[in-house]
Amino acid sequence: MVHFADSLTFSGRKVVAAWASLPFPAFPGSSLPDILSAHQQDVPWKLLLSSWREQKVSCCFAQSVVLRGVCRERPSSSLGQPRTPLHGCESPEEMLQHYLHTHFPGSFSTAHVLQQPCDTPPPFPQFFSPLLTRQGFLQDKALGHSSAGPNRAVQSIPVLAALQASPVLHKLLSGLWQDLRARNVRRWSSFFTAGVEQDDFQQALEELKTLSQCYKTGFGGDGSEDEADSD
C-alpha cells in the first residue's frame, strides 16, 4: 500500500485519502455509461473519514479508482436515444477514465473496472438497506419492502474504491499540526522518557506543516483555512 500511495504522490506530497462507494449505486441490468451518466453533478463516493464524509472535492492532483461488479456491456436500452460521450467509449476503463477527467480535469487518473463483485457472505455485517437485491443492486422503492425479507441477506455488492491526493488533505494535515502545536508536550514526562527529544518533536511539527502546504491550491476556499499558518 505504501508503494501504491507513492505512485500517486509527487511535489513533496506523501499522503493520499481513501474514498469508497459501498455499495456502488446501480440498478439491475444497468450499463456502466448509464450509471455514470446519472451522477454527472457529484461523484457517487465518499471520503472515508467520519467527520469529513460530506466534504466535496472538485479537484485533485492524482488518483487511482477501481470499480468492480457492474455490467460492462453497452446498454441496449439507449439505442435510438441521444448518445453521450460516455456511451461512445470503447471499453469500461475508457468510460471510467472519461468520467474522471470530466470531474477532475488536468488530474493524473488511473481507472480499472473488474467484473467480479465484492462478496459479502457471513460474517460480513448485513447493514445494507432493504432496497438492495441479493446482488447489491438498487430496487424500485415500490418493490423494496415486499421483495426484501429478513432472510434475504446481500450476497455480493458492486464497489468503487479510490485513493486520491487532493487539496482536502491540506485542511486535514494543517488541522493536525495546529492541534499538536497547541499542546505543551513538556507536561508529558512519559512522552520523552520513551526516547523522543524535544528538538525531534519540533522538527516533526515543521515537517508536518510543510507537508500540509504541499496540498494547497490556488482555488478559492483555501485562504480562510490558513490564518494560523502565517505565524
Name the residue ranges covered by the structural domains of the chain. Answer: 1-143+151-165, 170-214
pLDDT digits (tens), the chain, 231 positions: 888 888 888 888 999 989 999 999 998 888 899 899 988 888 888 888 766 655 667 788 999 999 999 876 554 444 555 478 888 888 999 999 999 999 999 899 999 999 999 999 889 998 888 889 999 999 876 444 444 444 568 999 999 999 999 888 898 899 999 998 887 777 777 777 777 778 888 899 999 999 999 998 754 334 444 444 444
Tell me whether residue 187 is exposed, middle or buried, using C-beta atoms within 10 angstroms of its C-beta: 0 to 12, 13 to 18, 19 or more: exposed
Sign of CA dihedral 7, 46, 117, 101: negative
Q: What residues are paired with 17 via a beta bridge?
A: 164
Sequence letter at residue 134 = R
Separation between Cα atoms, residue 147 and residue 139, nearest integer Å: 9
The grid coordinates of residue 135 equal 446482488
